[in-house]
Amino acid sequence: MSTFPSLTASKLIKALRKLGFEVIRIKGSHHFLQHPDGRCTVVPVHRGETIGRGLLAQILRDCELSREELQEQL
């Protein structure tokens, strides 16, 4: 079992912004983030819901980040 905390979308976006990602556009509840080097991902923002394990893993793959790198920013 993972000891990784459950994250809300706003906390995840805040951590990604610390890593250099910027919100380039918002369409509905989806926030599109991009890094200056070209990496990008989409984070769905739904009030009161946390990001699931599978979606978090996909976002980390899109951003080419490890769980440890994200954990340091939280």
How do the pLDDT tens digits run along the chain, 74 residues long?
456 678 899 999 999 999 999 999 999 999 999 999 999 999 999 988 999 888 999 999 999 998 888 888 88
Q: State how many domains the chain has.
A: 1
In a domain, 45, yes or no: yes
Question: Encoding tokens for residue 30?
Answer: 């989806």
CA distance 25 to 48: 22
Distance CA(2)–CA(46), nearest Å, equals 23
pTM: 0.85
- Domain containing 67 — which CATH number? 3.30.920.30
Q: Are 53 and 2 in contact (CB under 8 A)?
A: yes
CA distance 34 to 63: 9
Q: Which of 59, 56, 47 is nearest to 7 (CA)?
A: 56
Query: Which range marks the domain in which residue 11 is found?
Result: 7-73
Is residue 30 domain-resident?
yes
pLDDT the model gives residue 74: 84
pLDDT at residue 1, as a whole number: 41
Residue 2 domain flag: no
